[in-house]
Structure 1
């Protein structure tokens, strides 16, 4: 192994750790309402909504959201899959189980983030975070059935937890023949697990609520 190869592998390991730390920093800064720390997890020219750009706009949006919707929150991170397109760009999926103190109810949520990461001036940042929700419901009201996003004071609506991955609908659409062994696809290429699972699906459109 050449020195250049060794340095590249060390850089990849350091980048993996920095990206995992980034997800943890996002959760901690959000829960502790440190909006500067939160905004600085994102690229300086992060897009906010349809027509705003920059960390200041992100901070303003976060301030409104946190004050109007929640008193306390807690974000618990789960598995985190990260794949690189080059040394300074990566994509990832990270699970998050969240708790929200919101008015008279204690809302629990299961979701995942589809992330794009970029290294800018030596520091890994979120280029984009796409939140995909499975459910949100009062702690004492299990989210059985459809329309699992159930916030107090709002009409229930469907989340987008499964929309990134066509395998969910394909699984339920066709029952296998029990008399035949199923075919098994070839393993996904290195740095291609997520793309293989996505099967070319478009990003879901997340409704802002």
Structure 2
């Protein structure tokens, strides 16, 4: 076996594990309120919004969000799909089931993150995390129906859990003709499963909790 190919394959496996660890570290540092550990998981020049750039601005935003909205949180990770753009850039989708103590209510949430990862100075970091929410509601109030984002003290609104993937709208646009077998597209090329599913869908506008 070509040694360069072997080295590349080993690097790919190590990178996958590092990226999975990155997602786990995100949840732990967030739930334990170690904001320095948390923001150091992001690229040094991370864009925070409003023209602000850098970990200091990210720390300020996260601190304000956590201090004024939640007493405690717990983020439980599910499946994690990772695909590489090149040896130093990757994308991923991570499912997350979360719990929040917020005032007198216990809010549960289902969401996914669309991630962009970058290896900088040998370390895999978040370049961007796009949170897409399906529902948020009090533990005792199942989120049946529309407007599944139901935070205490706010008007309900729709999340963006399905917004990145055109297949959701296409599936519900009309019933298939069951008298004929449906066509099946060719499988996505290696490292293009997520990009095939997303197609050219732009990032939705995410409403902050």
Shorter-chain TM-score bucket reads over 0.9
Deviations 1:30-53 (A, max 9, x none): 000000010001000001112100
Q: How does 1:107-186 map to 2 (within 5 A)?
A: 107-186=107-186
TM-score for the superposition, normalised by structure 2: 0.99
* C-alpha distance in 2 between matches for 1:66 and 1:158: 22
Alignment of 1:87 with 2:71, yes or no, is no
Alignment of 1:1-209 (within 5 A): 1-209=1-209
Q: Alignment partner of 1:153: what SS?
A: coil
TM-score, normalising length from structure 1?
0.99
Looking at structure 2, the residues matched to 60 and 115 of structure 1 have their Cα atoms a distance apart, in angstroms, of 21
CA distance in 2, matches of 1:26, 1:111: 15
**TM-fit CA distance, 1:178:** 1.0
Structure 1 residues 102-133: Cα deviation after superposition (integer angstroms, max 9, x where no partner): 00100000000000000001100000000000
Output the CA distance in 1 between the equivalents of 2:21 and 2:59.
20
Return 5+ residue gaps in structure 1 as ranges.
Answer: none
Give the 3-state SS of the residue equivalent to 1:97 in structure 2. strand
Secondary structure at the aligned position of 2:151 is classed as coil
Offset of 1:22 from its aligned partner?
Answer: 0.1
The CA distance in 1 between the partners of 2:195 and 2:64, in whole Å, is 35
Structure 2 alignment gaps of length 5 or more: none
Shift of 1:205: 1.3
Q: List per-residue Cα deviations over 1:54-113 (Å, max 9, x = no partner).
A: 001111111111100000100000000000010000000000000000001000000000
SS at match of 1:143: coil
Q: Deviations over 1:151-203 (max 9, x none)?
A: 00001010000000000000000200111111111000000001111121111
Write the distance in 2 (CA, Å) between the matches of 1:81 and 1:178.
Answer: 32
| 1:207 CA displacement | 2.0
Q: Give the count of matched residue pairs.
A: 209
CA distance in 2, matches of 1:21, 1:140: 33
CA RMSD of aligned residues (A): 0.6
